[in-house]
């Protein structure tokens, strides 16, 4: 009887799982495995918040497998060594997995696939994390897309009405399960347990993902287009951590939105375009793998970034810049492991333009503190705001955090939620409290917004000549 090792990675679900379906299609036993090998992902090994989510997601996956007569075997890397040991212990003749698209992971998986096949082991990878594989789309000139709108137009043409795969009701277990580490032995949870408040807000695992999707479609989608930019409202899906860990597939989300009563609405189209930005980010990272560490637009390699002052960077990280909407966002991140997308742009603009600190410093902080940390999304989000990436906001577009807060948090409810020291201020003052007497326990702005904007524009003028051919 054949045995297939099902190698779980960032696909921690049982429904709409093509690798699982293929393993079941072979007949025989299926051996579910997770291998913890963070060193193989350096310099972007999972951050502290991601590791905490992973602990609970693996727990949920093991419970789902146990309910179907199976269990999850946990091992430590190196991945190839662990897989070869498992092949020998289980007499497996195949290893199946869902693809990932980070540069280091692509190189590793290519090596593993070749090594397994040389030993006569069937090794296959499957699509399951994206709607469209990055190598299947190109411009009329045969080049990768660098602008979102034509990319998403082309991607939408490839989307099929194919239904997501159901979760199996049972999984055929091997005659004997190999030895497994316990989940605590992976050491994923922080010490001390600063993450505990997160789990009052989040439910890691496939059931949590499905519940979040239902809640979004019923309660949020009807007003998504008008509320998505309002951090003071319940206006976004909050599916990003579940997507990052593959507890739900983009195809499941697409199918559920299309099948809803609002499937053809403007709000649905706007939400699905956000899935499109995720696809676009992976497209860029796949075709331009250097951009995880360097500017996608090389013209910015000569930009005069400020030498990061550790104290200034720490004030930004801790939400004590003296600019309320920025501080509220950074404290939301620290307290919840997540930040509203509009506010992500504002805190990124403040760091890269008002403080003129290189976007990598922000990207690394987000990587460590975001529950939804995803290399493609994180990289492109930061480069978009910094102006150094594809389809980016021009560097001269510098968000005014006061005007943005007045527009998207008009009553100051979001700021009050995360900055209790400002809760007593009226809405006329809460966005720029320095314009009156500051509360005793809140700092003045660490930079003058108007002056720092002019300094950023002056810095850009030193490399502006590199952009003349674009105008």
Query: Could you report the per-residue pLDDT of 182-233, keeping only the tens digit for each?
Result: 999 999 999 999 999 999 999 999 999 999 999 999 999 999 999 999 999 9
Confidence of residue 38 (pLDDT cuts 50, 70, 90): very high
Note whether residue 248 is domain-resident.
yes
**CATH at residue 400:** 1.10.579.10
Nearest to 37, CA basis, from 59, 10, 5: 10
Same domain? 264 vs 315: no
Which structural domain range is residue 364 located in?
A: 298-470
Q: Helix, strand, coil shares of the chain as percentages rounded to 5?
A: 55, 5, 40
The model's pLDDT over 95-138, given as tens digits with 9 standing for 90+, comes to: 999 999 999 999 999 999 999 999 999 999 999 999 999 999 99
Note whether residue 293 is domain-resident.
no
Helical (H) or strand (E) element with 425: none
Beta bridge partners of 125: 97
Note whether residue 189 is domain-resident.
no
Note whether residue 192 is domain-resident.
no
Provide the H-helix boundaries in 263-409: 266-287, 310-318, 324-336, 341-349, 359-369, 375-386, 401-408
Which residues are known catalytic residues? 274, 277, 305, 341, 359, 382
Same domain? 222 vs 324: no
Confidence of residue 318 (pLDDT cuts 50, 70, 90): very high
Note whether residue 85 is domain-resident.
yes
Does the structure show a pLDDT above 70 at 470?
no
CA–CA dist 183, 162 (Å, integer): 36
Helix, coil or strand: residue 95? strand
Same domain? 393 vs 410: yes
Confidence of residue 60 (pLDDT cuts 50, 70, 90): very high
Q: Which pLDDT score, from 0 to 100, does residue 468 have?
A: 59
Same domain? 26 vs 156: no
For range 409-431, the mean pLDDT: 97
Q: Which pLDDT score, from 0 to 100, does residue 453 have?
A: 97
Helix, coil or strand: residue 75? strand
| pTM exceeds 0.85 | yes
Same domain? 142 vs 108: no
Same domain? 235 vs 378: no
Note whether residue 220 is domain-resident.
yes
CA–CA dist 309, 217 (Å, integer): 44
CA–CA dist 169, 36 (Å, integer): 27
Q: Which pLDDT score, from 0 to 100, does residue 471 have?
A: 39
**CATH at residue 44:** 3.40.50.620
Note whether residue 168 is domain-resident.
no
Same domain? 271 vs 371: no
Same domain? 344 vs 442: yes
**CATH at residue 211:** 1.25.40.80
Same domain? 113 vs 258: no
Q: Which of 3-12, 116-125, 202-211, 390-399 has the lowest mean pLDDT?
A: 390-399
């Amino acid at each position: 009887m054949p045995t297939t090792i099902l190698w779980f990675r960032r696909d921690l679900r049982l429904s709409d799982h093509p690798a699982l379906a293929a393993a079941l299609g072979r007949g025989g036993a299926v051996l579910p495995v997770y291998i913890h090998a963070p060193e193989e992902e350096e310099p972007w090994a999972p951050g502290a918040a991601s590791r905490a989510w992973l602990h609970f997601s693996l727990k949920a996956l093991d419970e789902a497998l146990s309910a179907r007569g199976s269990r999850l075997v946990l091992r430590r890397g190196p991945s190839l060594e662990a897989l070869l040991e498992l092949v020998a212990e289980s007499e497996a003749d195949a290893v199946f997995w869902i693809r990932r698209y980070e540069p280091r992971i692509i190189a590793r998986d290519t090596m593993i696939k070749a090594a397994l096949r040389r030993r006569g082991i069937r090794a296959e990878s499957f699509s399951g994390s994206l709607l469209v594989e990055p190598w299947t789309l190109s411009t009329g000139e045969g080049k990768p897309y660098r602008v979102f709108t034509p990319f998403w137009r082309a991607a939408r043409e490839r989307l099929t009405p194919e239904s997501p795969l159901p979760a199996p009701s049972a999984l055929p277990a091997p005659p004997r399960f190999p030895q497994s580490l316990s989940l605590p032995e992976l050491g994923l949870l922080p010490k001390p347990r600063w993450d505990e408040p997160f789990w009052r807000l989040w439910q890691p695992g496939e059931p949590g993902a499905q519940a979040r999707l239902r809640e979004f479609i019923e309660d949020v989608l009807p007003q998504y287009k008008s509320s998505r930019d309002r951090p003071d409202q319940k206006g976004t899906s909050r599916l990003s951590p579940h997507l990052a860990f593959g507890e739900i597939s983009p195809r499941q989300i697409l199918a559920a939105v299309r099948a809803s009563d609002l499937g053809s609405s403007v709000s649905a189209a706007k939400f699905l375009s956000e899935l499109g930005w995720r696809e676009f980010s992976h497209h860029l990272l796949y075709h331009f793998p250097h951009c995880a560490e360097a500017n996608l637009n090389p013209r910015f390699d000569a930009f005069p970034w400020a030498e990061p002052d550790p104290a200034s960077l720490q004030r930004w990280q801790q939400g004590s810049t003296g600019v309320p909407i920025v501080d509220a966002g950074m404290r939301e991140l620290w307290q919840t492991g997540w930040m509203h997308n509009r506010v992500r742009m504002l805190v990124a603009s403040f760091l890269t333009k008002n403080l003129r600190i290189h976007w990598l410093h922000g990207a690394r902080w987000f990587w460590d503190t975001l529950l939804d940390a995803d290399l493609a999304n994180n990289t492109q989000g930061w480069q978009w705001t910094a102006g150094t990436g594809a389809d980016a906001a021009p560097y001269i577009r510098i968000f005014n955090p006061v005007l943005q807060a007045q527009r998207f948090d008009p009553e100051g409810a979001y700021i009050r939620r995360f900055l209790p020291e400002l809760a007593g201020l009226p809405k006329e003052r809460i966005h720029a409290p320095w314009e009156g007497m500051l509360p005793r326990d809140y700092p003045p702005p660490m930079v003058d917004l108007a002056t720092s904007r002019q300094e950023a524009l002056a810095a850009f003028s030193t490399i502006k000549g590199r952009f003349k051919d674009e105008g």
